[in-house]
Structure 1
Amino acid sequence: MDITSWVFTAIGVILLFVASLFVFRQHTISTGQALLFALGVALVAMPHVVNFEWSDGGIKFTTKEATATLTDQVKSITEQQKEINDQIKILSQTVKDTSERMNSVLASIKSNDPSVTIPSTTVVPPETWKNFLDKNEKINEQSLQTIFKLDNLQQELAPATK
């Protein structure tokens, strides 16, 4: 924990101690003492909580550790997606090159011997390949941006996980 976390924790513990002293002296819990307890607990918990909400009579909160774990998992999945997209890009470029070579060979055979019957092949237009490769490149760029954002989030959460 960083120094700010220690300060909040220390102040929270002091408030809890003071509220406990008041309770032991008077043997009843007043609204002020209950508020001191609540404030003390809040200050102790604050360095560890990313967000919280009060709903349906309960408190829901997310800890920094849980957020850091989730961030690690999302980053891992995004990196795997980027690796797959890189492989798709290489495979697509290879298939495109092979298709172009095949079309060139078929055209050469046809020009040398017009009587040769060439089975009909489906020729993929170059624009289709270009669009496919461009879309794959955009996905890779988005993956890199997501990884960058997740790295920043991990750095923000790093003091909480150490």
Structure 2
Amino acid sequence: MSAYAPMPTAHLWAGTWKHDSRRSSSVRKIWSCMGAGTLSKQKLAALSQDVTIELIGSGNHWKFIQNGSMGKREYLFTGTEFKQLNHSKSPVYTTCEWSDGRVWMRERHRNEKYIIDQAEEISADGSTRTVLTHVRGPVKEGLFVTYYTKA
């Protein structure tokens, strides 16, 4: 994978994406793999999963900004690991790359309590975003799929 490959479909990623809960994996199951307790899973599952994506950059240098109920997260397409700024109490380290028309991300909890690998892709017409997620948690792991439609 090349972290610096051009993003010819960047314009398709930007915008507001509505979570399709009918077709998507359970949010509670995803958080369960990450080691969240029952109360945390209930609170997190009740939050909106809708997100707004903004892309800043051009050519081979991009920043992917995702804003939703969990807060704002910024991903740099450098191919090297960096610390997420909004995880001060329990740092999460992220690696993000763009390749083959997909966004590839890895999130690693500071003490490796969990590791999340994701591959995100957009439909040819830009109306559907599919996120394939593999979570390896402290007790169990799982493979999940989440669907979003362009608002």
TM-score, normalised by the number of residues in structure 1: 0.18
Higher helix residue share: 1
Higher strand residue share: 2
